[in-house]
Amino acid sequence: MSINYEKAHSLFDGLMINICHACGGICEQNQLAVLLPEEDDYIALKIGVEKKEFLKNYCTTVDFREQKINILKIGVCPFLNNQFRCELEQFNCKALQCLLYPVLINSSLAQGKAIVDESYCPMAHSVSEEFKHKSWKLLEEIKSNLPQWWLDCSGIIDSYIYDYKKMSDLKNKTTITIEELNNCIIRWYNN
């Protein structure tokens, strides 16, 4: 059984839209967005491009334990516009990791409740109880569709803040290793 991305997005339609641009895109300047399993298919379909084109133009693939995990293109998100809004909002297909942020997928699942990233997100104080509740409800629904290798890789990527300048030589590569990402870490932050 796969994740019902359409249903997931309908839960959050517009709920955080006026909060996330207020800080000037802080989370877009040092973090990476990990796509959930089959999320690349969903977003490509919603924006009207072939999956192959979507992967080429908007994603980097990370090799991890003989698995492949897609992240949005290394560096500043290719969908972030100059008003610090996600252009995927117009198609209602923002990557779920981004849609739920500052609720953290891995930390929430590990702790059994919605965990808000208060250590990095300056807007964390603005997250409503309704948003936390809906986030947790969605995570409970999708957790059986998240393979352990995905959770492990996503947890590693989400635990660090990256130096985008160090990543410049990785930006045009289609596939990278977790070790290459690790060489671009600025620091670890506590979720």
If pLDDT is split at 50, 70 and 90, which confidence band does 16 have? low
CA distance 166 to 155: 21
Check pLDDT > 60 for residue 191.
no
Check pLDDT > 80 for residue 96.
yes
| Confidence (pLDDT) at 69 | 93
Average pLDDT over residues 157-167: 84
| Confidence (pLDDT) at 120 | 81
Highest mean pLDDT among 36-50, 66-80, 85-99: 36-50
Written as one letter, the residue type at 3 is I
pTM, 2 dp:
0.89
Proportion of the chain above pLDDT 70, given as a percent:
92
Average pLDDT over residues 126-139: 90
CA distance 20 to 97: 13
Q: What is the DSSP letter of 185?
A: E
Instruction: State both tokens at 101.
Output: 């942020």
CA distance 66 to 39: 19
The domain containing residue 14 runs over which residues?
Answer: 5-188
Average pLDDT over residues 163-178: 87
| Confidence (pLDDT) at 189 | 62
Residue showing tokens 């980097």: 60
Looking at the 3D structure of the chain, how many domains does it have?
1
CA distance 37 to 55: 13
Average pLDDT over residues 103-110: 88
Average pLDDT over residues 45-66: 94
If pLDDT is split at 50, 70 and 90, which confidence band does 19 have? low
| Confidence (pLDDT) at 63 | 92
